[in-house]
């Protein structure tokens, strides 16, 4: 699984891991901060949250254009420093005044703009690693590994946010509102780690660095003649990418409810305490033990040498021993709403080797579905996640949008299962979609087309606000039913044009 990948993949992935850790630490508690600090309703907080997500994913369009002109590495570096300034401003406790709202808005713009320069351009650099013919057949698996590694940072983020807030409140006597700012400050530290990794291992990806437009043009002249496109081919590829972008909009609208209505559901409906195996799910160390076991099993079956198998066997034993020990201790857990956001990155890390192994096996048999088919399947799986939420919400009281209160004690495993299914959908759609864009985009429009992917994501993230606006104004199952229907319609659309998309895939 890890063999045969270009060395630069690991440096770029871990640089992104540091940045994502800070971002998701902030995002894990952001919508709750908006309500707790400013006293806003669920709908108002949802609009601010979704508008921020929209900017985060819209601005890479312009970041890509800037990189096409001035170079990817330069834009990545500038982006990190701008993000740092935004997180630093957000970490200052200013209360709930008008000045505080303005400062928060300015911080969100800085974080969004910095991310726009950093995120898409780093991924273009990852894609360019696979332009070398000896790595060409590793592109999809490489993006899956990249996606898995950046989710390692997101895995620890909710726990980091909760723990640092608890520490600020108990050890420093900080109020709950002000303790949120300590979680935001974590992002500043993570960005320092990110930039150190990026520059410390820059030599491993020097072949994809294009400092300026002149260098980029010079690099383009040595590309293989087979990569040259006619105007009609260029137009066809751009149209196909735009059609995929249209579907992506609705996936992210549904998926990023994890920080919005699904977080509201966790706060208002899910039991606040658990015991036994369920309680063990909420300790990130236990999740790491499960990850060790899964990767150990894959290593044992895939390794060619006895020494490697022995090492992987030790990982299995260590992980299993830890889980047995914790279970015998009689696990108990207090469940805070933000902690559920650890499950998506955990499942990404767990399921990536399964995904790579499955599609690798299908590829050997000549039966691996093309990227557009995987994207369509991802939309169907996402619909299944909201089918589960719809069925689980029948009979539950309607939410209260303006005065949140705990309305039920639903088993947390309902929400954990939903995140599991959504992660299956994400692995079919997100890394595969990014790989598809990097492969299909006309060479001279790579940055802009990768930016287009993020614009589609941005529109979807802005539409995240729609369910938050109807939260408390209708029955709970209707909220999830709408999301389920949207995913189904998007899946039908992409399968209706699948021949056209497969032609360029």
Strands (E), 286-349: 332-334
**Average pLDDT of the chain, as a whole number:** 87
Span 396-425, pLDDT tens digits: 998 876 677 788 899 999 999 999 999 999
Give the H or E element holding residue 273: strand 273-275
Q: Nearest to residue 383, comparing CAs of 250, 244, 249?
A: 250
Q: How far apart are CA 224 and CA 202, in angstroms?
A: 25
Q: For Cα atoms 189, 180, 52, give the angle at the middle one, nearest 5 degrees.
A: 80
Span 298-310, pLDDT tens digits: 888 877 778 888 9
- pLDDT for residue 222 is more than 50: no
- pLDDT for residue 4 is more than 80: no
139-143, 267-271, 344-348: range with lowest mean pLDDT:
139-143
Q: How far apart are CA 2 and CA 80, in angstroms?
A: 28
> 106 lies in a domain?
yes
3-state secondary structure of 297: helix
Model confidence band, residue 125 (pLDDT cutoffs 50, 70, 90): confident
- pLDDT for residue 174 is more than 80: yes
Distances (CA, A) of 479 to 56, 465, 473: 25, 12, 10
pLDDT at site 210: 55
> 314 lies in a domain?
no
DSSP 178-208: HHHHHHHHHHHHHHHHHHHHHHHTGGGGGGG
| Residue 351, domain CATH | 1.20.1250.20
pLDDT at site 216: 45
- pLDDT for residue 218 is more than 50: no
Q: How far apart are CA 477 and CA 386, in angstroms?
A: 9
> Crossing angle for the helix pair 72-90 and 8-38, nearest 10 degrees?
30
> 411 lies in a domain?
yes
> 2 lies in a domain?
no
Higher pLDDT, 381 or 123: 381
pLDDT at site 223: 47
> 302 lies in a domain?
no
Span 245-262, pLDDT tens digits: 988 899 999 998 988 899
Model confidence band, residue 219 (pLDDT cutoffs 50, 70, 90): very low
pLDDT at site 379: 94
Per-residue burial over 330-339, b = 16 or more CB atoms within 10 Å of its CB, e = otherwise: ebebebbbbb
> 214 lies in a domain?
no
Q: Structural domain of residue 256, as residue ranges? A: 8-199+229-272+335-504
On whether the pTM is more than 0.85, the answer is: no
End-to-end CA distance of the chain: 23
pLDDT at site 288: 92
Q: Which structure tokens are listed for 436?
A: 């598809």
Percent of the chain exceeding pLDDT 90 equals: 40
- pLDDT for residue 331 is more than 70: yes
> 474 lies in a domain?
yes
> 22 lies in a domain?
yes
Most confident of 136-140, 305-309, 342-346: 342-346
Segment 185-202 mean pLDDT: 91
pLDDT at site 213: 45
pLDDT at site 402: 67
18-32, 203-217, 282-296, 451-465: range with lowest mean pLDDT:
203-217
Domain count, the chain: 1
- pLDDT for residue 117 is more than 80: yes
- pLDDT for residue 457 is more than 90: no
Are the CB atoms for 12 and 122 separated by under 8 Å?
A: yes
């Amino acid at each position: 699984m890890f063999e045969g990948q270009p060395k630069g993949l690991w440096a770029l992935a871990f640089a992104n891991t540091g940045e994502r850790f800070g971002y998701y630490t902030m995002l894990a508690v952001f919508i709750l901060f908006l309500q707790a600090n400013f006293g806003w309703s669920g709908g108002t907080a949802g609009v601010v949250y979704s508008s921020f997500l929209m900017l985060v994913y819209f601005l890479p369009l312009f970041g890509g254009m800037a990189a096409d002109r001035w170079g990817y590495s330069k834009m990545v570096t500038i982006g990190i420093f701008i993000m740092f300034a935004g997180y630093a401003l957000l970490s200052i406790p200013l209360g709930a005044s008008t000045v505080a709202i303005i400062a928060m808005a300015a911080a969100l713009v800085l974080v969004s703009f910095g991310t726009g320069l950093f995120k898409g351009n780093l991924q273009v650099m990852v894609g360019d690693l696979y332009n070398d013919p000896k790595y060409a057949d590793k592109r999809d698996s490489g993006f899956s590994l990249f996606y898995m590694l950046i989710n390692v940072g997101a895995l620890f983020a909710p726990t980091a946010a909760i723990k640092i807030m608890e520490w600020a409140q108990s050890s420093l006597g900080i109020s709950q509102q002000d303790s949120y700012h300590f979680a935001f400050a974590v992002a500043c530290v993570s960005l320092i780690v990110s930039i150190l990794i990026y520059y410390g291992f820059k030599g491993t990806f020097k072949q994809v660095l294009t400092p300026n437009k002149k260098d980029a043009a010079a690099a383009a002249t040595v590309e293989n003649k087979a990569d040259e496109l006619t105007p009609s081919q260029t137009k066809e590829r751009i149209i196909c990418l735009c059609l995929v972008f249209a579907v992506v909009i609705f996936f992210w609208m549904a998926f990023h409810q994890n920080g919005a209505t699904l977080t509201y559901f966790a706060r208002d409906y899910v039991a606040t305490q658990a015991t036994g195996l369920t309680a063990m799910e909420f300790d990130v160390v236990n999740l790491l033990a499960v990850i060790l076991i899964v990767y150990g099993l894959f290593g044992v079956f895939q390794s060619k040498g006895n020494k490697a198998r022995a090492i992987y066997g030790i990982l299995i034993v260590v992980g299993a021993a830890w889980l047995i020990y914790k279970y015998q201790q009689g696990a108990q857990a207090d469940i805070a709403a933000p902690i559920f956001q650890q499950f998506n990155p955990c499942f990404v890390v767990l399921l990536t080797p399964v995904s790579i192994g499955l599609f690798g096996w299908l590829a050997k048999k000549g039966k691996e579905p093309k990227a557009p088919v995987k994207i369509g399947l991802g939309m169907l799986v996402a619909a299944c996640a909201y089918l589960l939420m719809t069925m689980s919400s029948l009979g539950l009281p309607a939410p209260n949008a303006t005065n949140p209160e705990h309305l039920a004690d639903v088993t947390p495993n309902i929400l954990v299962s939903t995140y599991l299914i959504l992660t299956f959908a994400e692995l079919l759609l997100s890394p595969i979609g990014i790989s598809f864009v990097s492969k299909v985009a006309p060479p001279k429009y790579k940055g802009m087309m990768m930016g287009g992917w993020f614009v589609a994501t941005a529109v979807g993230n802005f539409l995240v606000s729609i369910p938050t606006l109807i939260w408390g104004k209708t029955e709970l199952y209707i909220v999830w039913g709408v999301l389920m229907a949207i995913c189904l319609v998007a899946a039908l659309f992409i399968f209706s044009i699948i021949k056209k998309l497969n032609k360029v895939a």
